Amino acid sequence: MADSHATAVEAAVPNPELRHHFADMEQQKNAASLGMWLFLVTEIMFFGGMFCAYLIYRFRYFDAFAAGSQSLDVRLGAFNTAVLLVSSLTVVLAVRAAQDGKRHQLVAYLAITVVLGLTFLGVKAVEYAEKFEKHHVPGPTFQFTDTYNRNGEQVHLNADEVPHAQMFFAVYFAMTGMHALHMIIGCGLFTVLAVLAWKGRYSPGYFTPIENGGLYWHLVDIIWIYLFPLLYLIDRHH
Amino acid sequence: MAGQVDALYIYLVLVSAVMIVLIYLAVAFFAVKYRRSKGHAPHQIEGSTILEIGWSVIPFGVMLTFFIWGALLYFKERTPPSDATEVYVVAKQWMWKIEHMEGQREINELHVPVGQNIKLVMTSQDVIHSFFVPAFRIKQDVLPGRYTTLWFKATQAGTYHLFCAEYCGTSHSGMVGSIIVMEPQDYAQWLTGGPSVPLSEAGKQLFSSLGCSTCHRFDTQGRGPNLQGAFGKPVLLEDGRTVTMDDNYVRESILNPTAKIVNGFKPIMPTFQGLISDEQLNALVAYVKSLNQPPAGTASQAAASPAGQPQKVQVQ
Amino acid sequence: MASAAIPANQIPETKTNYLTNGYSLKSWLLTTDHKRIAVLYLISITAFFFLGGFFAMLIRLELLTPASDLMHADTYNKAFTMHGMIMVFFFLIPVVPATLGNFLVPMMIGAKDLAFPRINLLSWYLYIIGGGLILHCMLTGGVDTGWTFYTPFSTAFTNTKIIEAGLAAFIAGFSSIFTGLNFIVTIHRMRAPGLTWSRLPLFIWAQYATSIIMILGTPVVAITIVLVAVERLFHLGIFDPRLGGDPLLFQHLFWFYSHPAVYIMILPSMGVISELITAFSRKRVFGYRFVALSSIAIAVIGFLVWAHHMFVAGISLYAAMIFSFLTFFVGVPSAIKVFNWTATLYKGSISYATPMLYAFGFIGLFTIGGLTGLFLATLGIDVHVTDTYFVVAHFHYVMVGGVVMGFLGGMHFWWPKISGRLYPEGWAKLSALLVFVGFNLTFFPQFILGYLGMPRRYADYSAMPDFQVLNVLSTAGASVLAVGYLLPMIYFLWSLRYGPRAEANPWAAAGLEWMTASPPPTFNFDETPVVTWEAYNYEELDHLKEQKEVAVG
């Protein structure tokens, strides 16, 4: 096979994790982290399209977006934000533990991160379920009868604006759904990392996957940090 | 307009031809003169910043002439003269429906008089289409949910092709028609043929049958804004913005009334989304527009005091 | 190096190379060797090219007569959609980066492989999955939206297989994102000692610029396609005016990627042309820095011009003017390249080998394609010619006349390196000529058709039968072109068995890839090269050769 370990014949290679085509561990590490950063750039562009759609329609259908936004449960959103912030901290601690070669700590922090991620997803599921009950899911059965705060008074959304409230929920589901998908991938990824860490795959000399996984987690976290105010908070200034 | 487009086109073709000939000749000349042969060593040259700047700046200068000429022409193509006669166009898979102000309706044919500026106010019932008359060198996409406009002045009687230029499904290539340009007297003759209710008249009937007139009264007492003389004027909205009352504003206000509330009014108008067809919408817009023109014979009076006229026009 | 582990039962001249390092199917399908992956790509992309070409022939045959008589309008619509989708997503975008780029990027910079060999293999599998989906979609009903998926037609008015086709494009998009990511990291981190940025071959610069676009643009079209699919499934209405959505938003998002995608296609071929022109005039390229940076300039400015596809779509007058103005800026770096290539010929020692003929062909066709692009950027003209055959002719001049000429030129140039064999020069020259003549015969008449007003995507032009003469010419040209494209495939395959063996550097060309055996060993270089010279050091090379000749003589 092309990917044979023939290179091992060469001069003593200190780290078994060094892949054949790199000169040394440093080059390998630099390549991996540059690769990860570039991947994060593509992720930002990926979400960028949806942020763009959000901005355009929010500008165009201001009232409907306000009404839609106010119908979201800000407490659940805030709770989820806190969960994600804590999870980012545990990720940092995990990377730190890997750096110091503390295997048990590393596994523990990775596991906590996964649990926090699942908590986030659980809360999200509760929120989605509520949307289904209230017929806030875009589609033929969509309804919107909530009142909302318009310049200080509680009013119903005008009938002609209801389709635009549907647009709010379309954007809401598209953005949070795509974000949740990234969370699911992140939880899967961290579970794998935790198992590998348990098996002792990582050492202070080689923990690039932990670092890169952490970068991914932080990005998903940051995207939520933008989603939360845009979707939940933006019309609560009264 | 066609002549002006052709003139610019010829200019572009000439400039391009010169460029192509220069490049081809240079390549051919170098390829032959410096072909590989014994005892003929290549002469290494690093490059020349002056040349680089030269062949960046000079072509860009030439391109700027393209841009300026093209933009001026485009501006003209996109700005209908104020005296243009309006014709409504509704596109659908796969036909063009035309409505004249005088009430004539046609399908896949548009009759117009020579020498008259024609402004098309177009919308689509389904997907995006594009109104393309090659002979006039004009084209404009026709979108669902809003109006786009296009104008032309035919200078020669005859029949010209009308194509749909934006792919719209199965019979896209069958969505063709003709523009029939007639001498003014023939056109007048054509207009008299067949029974017809002027578009604004149809709109007026709708205006009353849909109940618009109960709120949009022609005085200051109505629950909705007085529409008389309002078309084409700026409107102050309740959020402080100012918009011009044009075709798209009237359309939006019928379908999505609370989107842009006029300052001083409440958002109480119901939506007509899904309740009226694009043709009816066109008739209403035409009627609102006609409220600007004083009824024949009372021009001076109307201009002086628009508020004095309502009783005449009002239906109820 | 690799041979060290293998018993010395090999004949010295057929030392193990990447082709002989394992013959099993598994050794190919699970390889992480960038060269083998390049070969896998080459085979699959060629297959898609001929499939796309088959649809092109169907289109040309239908247009032989004005009436829609060969096939029903629906079938025609599906045929041009398939032609567009296959050619754009499965041929033009990956063709040069995934084949020549994959093979050459590590070799040209003196690396053993790309930075992420397994991701590279994953790219190919994604390509195959995407390709399989599009084939499945084609066989089970097809799509009829055109490759542009314009809404609301695609979201609400067609009942063909949009979601499947969209998914295919989405997956193929990720294949190219990963390729781009791999290239950028490799070029940044894995250059041989001494190979500074200013010594990089221009092909590498072009690949680098291309990769930037792949990374920044492809995700946007990916999410756009996802939104179209989701909108179809759940009636979201983001692009549907009946629900308050805006179909123009789709066009903005789509062209934000798909215009730069044009540069994903053409830039790598431009890189190839820079290599060919220098190698066959035995000269350092004229104005190296300008040619290199013009690639980056094209990549950057290419992101600022997308709305020039929408001058009649209903954008505002002033938006149109700004985008028209910006579009002319892209013209400048493209012009710089053409002028510098021409200037490189000056006082060179020019050979008429087949790759050089393709390079001449590229300059000829790309010049026309580029200049007619200026017509389309000129607002007053665009209104008339957009969505007509003028546009079709323009982008085929750039895409086929540019990209494919560059690809074929590069294939001939590097074929000895890839296969270790020489192709038959006479046949190759004939095919280069056929391609050039056939191409012009096919597409030049379409400029005239467009200005006369023949709209694109018409199955039936019986309303204007006088367009037939030019259409017949075009179809005739397409037949010549088809022969021109089939020939290389035949003689390349023939040469695999019967072609004379190639030495390491049959063209006496500069570049690290020529300093190792043909075909190269699995890890490219026996020793990592140390670079002490500038790119295209033909003077030194010729000097060395003379010395050698003198010594031997």
Residues 6+ apart with CB under 8 A from C472: C64
For residue C464, give the 3-state DSSP assignment.
Answer: coil
Confidence of residue C312 (pLDDT cuts 50, 70, 90): very high
Per-residue DSSP letters for C428-441? HHHHHHHHHHHHHH
Stretch C276-297: mean pLDDT: 94
| Angle at the Cα of B240 from the Cα atoms of B263 and A146, rounded to 5 degrees | 75
Hey, of B146, B258, B269, B273, which one would you mutate to test binding to chain A, going by the most A CBs within 10 A of its CB? B258
Contact list in A for residue B259 (CB cut-off 8 A) is 61, 160-161
Low-confidence ranges of chain A (pLDDT < 50): 1-11, 13, 238
Distance CA A28, CA A20 (A): 10
* Sole residue written with tokens 């092309």: A2
Nearest to C30 among A1, A22, A30 (CB): A1
* Radius of gyration in angstroms for the set of CA atoms belonging to chain A, rounded to a whole number: 23
Distances, alpha carbon A114 to alpha carbons A39, A90, A107, A121, C209, in Å = 22, 10, 11, 10, 38
Check residue C365 and give its pLDDT.
Answer: 96
Say whether residue B255 is in contact with chain A using an 8 A CB cutoff: yes
pLDDT of residue A14: 62
Question: CA neighbours within 13 Å on the CB side: how many for B139?
Answer: 31
Maximum pairwise Cα distance, chain A: 78
Question: Is B20 within 8 Å of C371 when comparing Cβ atoms?
Answer: yes
Under 8 Å between Cβ of A79 and A173: no
Contact B257 A160 (CB under 8 A): yes
Q: Tell whether B238 lies on the interface with A, counting CB pairs under 8 A.
A: no
* pLDDT in the model for residue C183: 96
Cβ contact, residue pair C539, B44, below 8 Å: yes
The per-residue pLDDT for B288 is: 87
Return the pLDDT at A1.
Answer: 37
Greater pLDDT, C553 or C41: C41
Minimal CA–CA distance to C376: which of C397, C362, C356?
C397
Is A17 in the B-facing interface, judged by CB distances under 8 Å?
A: no
For A:162-191, CB contacts with B below 8 A are: 163-164
For chain C, percent of residues with pLDDT exceeding 70: 96
> With an 8 Å Cβ cutoff, are A34 and C185 in contact?
yes
Question: Number of B:C CB contacts under 8 A?
Answer: 269
Contact B255 A158 (CB under 8 A): no
Both ends of chain B: CA-CA distance in Å?
Answer: 46
Find chain A residues with C-beta within 8 A of C240's C-beta: none
Reference A163, options C342, B264, C238; nearest CA is: C238
The predicted pLDDT at position A157 comes to 82
Give one word for B120, left, alpha or beta, with left for phi > 0 and alpha for psi -120 to 50. beta
**CB within 8 Å: C380 and B4:** yes
Average pLDDT, chain C: 91
Burial C110-149 (b: 16+ CB within 10 A, else e): bbbbbbbbebbbbbbebbbbbbebbbebbeeebbbbbbbb
Outline where C113-201 has alpha helix (H). 117-139, 162-189
Of residues B316 and C538, the one with the higher pLDDT is C538
Q: Say if residues C226 and C233 touch (Cβ distance below 8 Å).
A: no
State how far residue A103 is from chain C, nearest Cα, in angstroms. Answer: 27
Q: Would the CB atoms of C463 and B75 count as touching at under 8 Å?
A: no
Neighbours of chain C (3+ CB pairs under 8 A): A, B
CB of B222 within 8 Å of any CB in chain C? no
User: Is B43 near chain C, with CB under 8 Å?
Assistant: yes
Predicted confidence at residue C179, as pLDDT, reads 95
- For chain A, report the end-to-end CA distance as a whole number of angstroms: 67
Q: Does B267 contact A at CB distance below 8 Å?
A: yes
Residue B11 tokens read as 């200019």
Q: CA nearest C359: which of C395, C402, C423?
A: C402
What is the pairing mode between strands B109-113 and B177-182? parallel
C439 vs C431: CA distance, rounded Å = 12
Angstrom distances, CA of residue C209 to CA of C259, C267, C465:
15, 8, 45
Taking a C-beta distance cutoff of 8 angstroms, is the pair C504, C517 a contact?
yes
At residue C345, does pLDDT exceed 50? yes
Give the separation between CA C294 and CA C410, rounded to whole angstroms. Answer: 20
CB–CB contact A167 C244 (8 Å): yes
Find the closest chain A residue to C240 by CA distance: A167
Q: Is the peptide bond before C465 cis (omega within 30 degrees of 0)?
A: no
- Distance, CA of C331 to chain centre: 19
For C146-196, write each residue's pLDDT tens digit: 999 998 999 888 888 899 999 999 999 999 999 999 999 999 999 999 999
**The two structure tokens encoding residue C376:** 């389309």
Chain C hits for A10, CB-CB cut-off 8 Å, are 1
Q: Quick check: C471 pLDDT over 50?
A: yes
| The pLDDT value given to residue C527 | 86
Angstrom CA distances, C1 to A20, A131, C229, C527, stand at 12, 63, 50, 8
Name the β-bridge partners of B140.
Answer: B131
Inter-chain contact C453–B161, Cβ cutoff 8 Å?
Answer: yes
Instruction: Tell me which H or E stretch contains A20.
Output: none
Residue of B nearest to A63 (CA): B259
* Cα distance between the two ends of chain C: 34
Alpha-carbon span A129 to A127, nearest angstrom? 5
- Least confident segment among A66-75, C289-298, C398-407: A66-75
Q: Which residues contact A211 (CB under 8 A, 6 or more apart)?
A: A33, A36, A95, A98
Chain A residues whose beta carbon lies within 8 Å of the beta carbon of residue C216 = 41-42, 45
Say what the pLDDT of residue B98 is: 93
Least confident window among B90-104, C6-20, C356-370, C461-475: C6-20
Q: Note whether B223 and B215 are within 8 A (CB).
A: yes
Question: Would you call C140 helix, strand, or coil by DSSP?
Answer: coil
Q: CB distance A159–B255 less than 8 Å? A: no
Strand B85-92 relative to strand B117-124: parallel, antiparallel, unpaired? parallel
Question: Within 13 A of C359's CA, how many CA atoms are on the CB side?
Answer: 31
Q: CA of B28: how far to CAs of B31, B41, C342, in Å?
A: 5, 19, 10
What amino acid is encoded at C490 in this protein?
Answer: I
Burial of B132 (0-12, 13-18, 19+ CB in 10 A): buried
Average pLDDT rounded to a whole number, residues C445-460:
94
**C312 contacts in chain B (CB < 8 Å):** 130, 139-141
Distance from CA of A127 to the nearest CA of C (A): 18
Cβ contact B67–C384 (<8 Å)? no
**Contact (Cβ atoms closer than 8 angstroms) between residue C445 and residue C389:** no
- Return residues 508-537 of C near B (CB < 8 Å): none
Verify cis geometry, omega within 30 degrees of 0, for the bond prior to B55: no
CB C178 within 8 A of CB C112: no
pLDDT in tens, B151-172: 999 999 999 999 999 999 999 9
Instruction: Determine the average pLDDT of the residues in C534-548.
Output: 83
Cα distance between residue C339 and residue B173, in whole Å? 42
Q: C70 is written with which tokens? A: 């060969």
Which of C2, C245, C523 comes nearest A167 by C-beta? C245
Rounded to an integer, what distance in angstroms lies between the CA atom of residue C149 and that of residue C166? 9
C-alpha span between A65 and A161 (Å, rounded): 9
- Residue corresponding to tokens 């609560």: A236
Q: How far is the CA of C183 from the CAs of C95, C153, C213, C292, in angstroms?
A: 15, 37, 12, 16
Residues with Cβ < 8 Å from B218, sequence gap 6 or more? Answer: B226, B227, B228, B307, B309, B310, B313, B314
Give the pLDDT score at B259. 79
What pLDDT is recorded for position A237? 58
The residue of chain A nearest to residue C177, with distances taken between CA atoms, is A42
**Subunits touching A (CB < 8 Å, at least 3 pairs)?**
B, C
- Nearest CB to C386: which of B34, B77, B139? B139
Distance CA C158, CA C165 (A): 13
Confidence at residue B143, expressed as pLDDT on a 0 to 100 scale? 94
- Is B200 within 8 Å of chain C by CB? no
Query: What are the tens digits of pLDDT across the range C436-448?
Result: 999 999 999 999 9
Contact A159 B271 (CB under 8 A): yes
Whether C408 contacts C272, CB under 8 Å: no
pLDDT in tens, B106-117: 899 999 999 999
A166 CB neighbours in chain C (<8 A) are 237, 243-244
Interface of B with C in 121-140 (CB under 8 A): 126-128, 130, 132, 134-135, 137-140
Q: Between chains, do C347 and B138 touch, taking CB under 8 Å as contact?
A: no
Mean pLDDT of C513-538: 90
Contacts of C363 (CB under 8 A, 6+ apart): B23, B27, C273, C338, C341, C342
Taking a contact as any Cβ pair under 8 Å apart, which residues of chain A between 171 and 230 contact chain C? Answer: 171, 173-174, 178
Instruction: Please check whether residue B42 touches C, CB under 8 A.
Output: yes
Alpha-carbon distance B44 to nearest alpha carbon in chain A (angstroms): 36
d(CA A32, CA A19): 12
Which of A98-102, B230-234, C26-30, C481-485 shows the lowest mean pLDDT across its residues? B230-234
What are the residues whose beta carbons fall under 8 Å from the beta carbon of C111, sequence distance 6 or more?
A21, C186, C190, C191, C192, C524
Residues of chain B with pLDDT under 70: 194-195, 293-316
